[in-house]
Amino acid sequence: MKKFNKIISFYEIIWKAKLPPKPLNSLSAFSSFMSIRGDDISAFIAHCRDLALSIVKRGTTVAVTDTSLRRRESLNLPTSKFNKVDINKMATITGLSKILEESK
C-alpha cells in the first residue's frame, strides 16, 4: 500500500487496484486513486471546471499570447486560432454550459 501514498501511474493504479482494465482511462484511474487516498476531491473538480470553462471560452486550455504566436511564426508554423464558435454551440447542446453555469 505504500505506493498508494503517492500518485503512481494511472496504469499501475488500474492494475494494482484490480479495476477492470477496460476502459482504461485516466478518469477512472484518477478518481479511483483519489478515493483510495481518501482525498477531498473538490480541488480536483474545481480544476476540471476551470479547464472546461477555458475550452468553452477559447477553444483551448492554454492562454494564447502574442509571444506564443510569434514563436510559431519564427518556426514557420501556421498561426490560426482554435475554434471556439462550434465548441460553444456543442457545450450548449450537450448541457456542458449549464453544468458550468450551475457550478459557479
Partner 1 sequence: MKEYAFFSGCLIYYRLPQFESATIKVLERFKIKLKPLEDVSCCPEPLSMQVLNPKAWYTIAARNICLAENKGLDLVTLCNGCNATLFRVNEDLKTNDELRMTINRYLKKIGKKFEGTITVKSILRVLYEDVGLEEIKGHIKKNAQNAQNLKVAVHYGCHIFDEIKHYDNPKNPVSLKNLVKAAGANVVSYSSEMLCCAAFARYVNEELSLQLVEEKLNDLINVNADCLVVLCPYCFLQYELGQISVSRKLNTRFQIPVLYYPQLLGLAMGFSAYDMGLQFHRVKTDELVEILRN
> Contact residues for partner 1 (CB under 8 A)?
6-12, 15, 23-27, 29-31, 39, 43-45, 47-52, 55, 59-65, 68, 71-72, 75-78, 80, 82-84, 86-87, 89-91, 93-96, 99-100
Query: CB of 104: closest distance to partner 1 in angstroms?
Result: 13
**CA–CA separation, 52 vs 95, rounded Å?**
12
Element (H, E) at 10: helix 10-16
Instruction: Kindly write down the DSSP assignment for every residue of 23-62, as one continuous string.
Output: S--HHHHHHHHHHHHT---HHHHHHHHHHHHHHHHHSSSS
Query: CB of 89: closest distance to partner 1 in angstroms?
Result: 6
Query: CB of 35: closest distance to partner 1 in angstroms?
Result: 14
